[in-house]
Structure 1
Amino acid sequence: MRRIPLAVLYSELSLTKNNFSPDMPSDQFGLVALGGDLSVDILIEAYSKGVFPWYDELPIKWYSPSERLVLYPDHFYATRTFKKWCLHEGRKLIYSADSAFSQVIYNCAQATRKGQDGGTWIKDEMISAYKELHNLGIAHSVEIWNKKPEYRSTQHDLIQKASMTDSNRRAIAVSPAECDLIGGLYGVSLGRMFFGESMFSTHTNASKLALWLLCHFLKRLQFTMIDCQVANDHLMSLGASVLVKRDFLSALDKSNRYPTLKGSWARLWEAELGTELSPALMPM
């Protein structure tokens, strides 16, 4: 990426607050500032102003592109193939939120991505920063688990489970010792917006299922949208659309007026969605 002089940018970041503003000038790639650090205060301020970091080398690059990819929770597009997979395979999996944040972000860092040339922008410093946000109840993860063969239910168990009430079914806790993590995602929650950072999948459709469940969860909590940052074909095929910067910042400003749902989402997630796909959660 072409380097541009700092004079063209808003400023070189200080290590204090008030580094960002919605009308910061940018280059053609959306780069608005260089420098600063990944401290909690700077990260929270950045997201609240529509800016996100890209950490591949120092100084840290901060972006607010002219077009923003977003996914409205009720706009997730489930293909016929995905619906069929959920019915036959997805219902055998277990899901959770905030049960394995560290595992999710490490897996995202190790995932091979098209055009990445063997590198990753999720370096140790990024991992440490978002783990700190998670400890503060601001960054969250969604996990998709596959039960290890020795712990899988017998046909008799499945019949018994099918006869359970929803409340009993939701009481089944995820036990990481009995499961393999096969997919997930993580991001930051502020106000009524979720800022998606990354996702991974080691099994077909696992990350897609995580995103579908996140949309369902956020819709129940009246979140407005998921910020997906930069347009890509995969997310657009799932229903994401592009907003111009002005419209995105307007939606962000409205979202910021609501209190942030801080703390672990694990219990709330289980209360709202359970731990396994029920008929009510199957994509239609």
Structure 2
Amino acid sequence: MIAWLDPHDPFPDVEQALGAGTDAPGLLAASRDLSPERLLSAYRQGIFPWYSSGQPVLWWSTDPRMVLKPEAFKVSRTFRKTLRRVETDPDWAIRVDTDFHAVMRACASAYRPGQHGTWITDEIRTAYSALYLQGMAHTVEAWYQGERVGGLYGVALGRMFYGESMFAHRTDASKIALAALCAFLSKHGVAMIDCQQETEHLASLGASPIARAEFIDHVRRATALPGIEPWQFDKSVLSPWTRRYHE
């Protein structure tokens, strides 16, 4: 059994999450509460929400945990050439926090093979928009000829970033945004991006699984550090990737 949380109940210890071999490995608790305060408490403890419309809010702490170390982001020879074009072509731009709501809507409507519907419900959009207004959630967006063609959003606490979702309306557009984010975070001493769950796509970008205990230990230390100020950058941040590449 998992815990049901009333609005002021603390989260259970993550070791109580359902384990491997169960129907829902990593599932820890359920609630109706998705307040900004509840979300921030969750992130600081290595917990995240993931559920579908019509379900209660389901809280997870997976083991292992998929993370992307910014310097491990994979840049192939071909993608390096793409980033060089982005860097030099005035038709391309990287922008930050121009329209949080639009990015969330684009992520919600993005096609994902094998997935029906979206976990980015109206309730999720409301909660994360509140974090954005508090300066704790951000978007990174790839623009081409004045149009937003790709991007991502996530939560930033201290020197920790929690990636939530990406979208692309043009080839490699979300990956371009992620490249910019990784370069920016690496520059500011962020050692880890939380990717939550293990997928082949995330692995292809350089993410890898680590033990939950190691992840939570890092989260506790990273979220206690001062946050990044200002949270602002442009495509010049891509220069570390255009000067070298990772196979």
| TM, length-normalised to structure 1 | 0.78
Distance apart, 1:60 and its partner CA:
1.1
Distance in structure 1 (CA, Å) of the matches to 2:70 and 2:109 = 27
Structure 1: which 5+ runs fail to align? 1-7, 148-178
Which amino acid letter does the alignment assign opposite residue 120 of structure 2? I
Give the aligned partner of residue 79 of structure 2. Answer: 82
Distance in structure 2 (CA, Å) of the matches to 1:100 and 1:218 = 21
1:62-84 CA-partner distances (Å, limit 9, x unpaired): 11011111001111110112112
Give the aligned partner of residue 235 of structure 1. Answer: 202
Distance apart, 1:88 and its partner CA:
3.3
Counterparts in 2 of 1:34 and 1:204: CA distance versus 1, 3 Å? same
Q: Is the 8 A contact 2:64 2:210 kept in 1?
A: yes
Give the aligned partner of residue 40 of structure 2. Answer: 44
1:153-211 CA-partner distances (Å, limit 9, x unpaired): xxxxxxxxxxxxxxxxxxxxxxxxxx110000000111211000000001011100111
Distance apart, 1:87 and its partner CA:
2.4
1:23 maps onto 2:15 in alignment: yes
Give the aligned partner of residue 170 of structure 1. Answer: none
Counterparts in 2 of 1:277 and 1:34: CA distance versus 1, 3 Å? closer
Partner SS state of residue 23, structure 1: helix
Runs of 4+, deviation exceeding 6 Å: none
Give the aligned partner of residue 105 of structure 1. Answer: 104
**CA RMSD of superposed structures (Å):** 1.9
Distance apart, 1:220 and its partner CA:
1.1
Corresponding residue pairs, total: 237
Identity %: 39
Distance apart, 1:51 and its partner CA:
0.6
Distance in structure 1 (CA, Å) of the matches to 2:31 and 2:239 = 49
Distance in structure 1 (CA, Å) of the matches to 2:239 and 2:59 = 42
Give the aligned partner of residue 56 of structure 2. Answer: 59
Q: Is the 8 A contact 1:14 1:36 kept in 2?
A: yes
Distance in structure 2 (CA, Å) of the matches to 1:200 and 1:32 = 28
| TM, length-normalised to structure 2 | 0.89
Distance in structure 1 (CA, Å) of the matches to 2:111 and 2:151 = 15
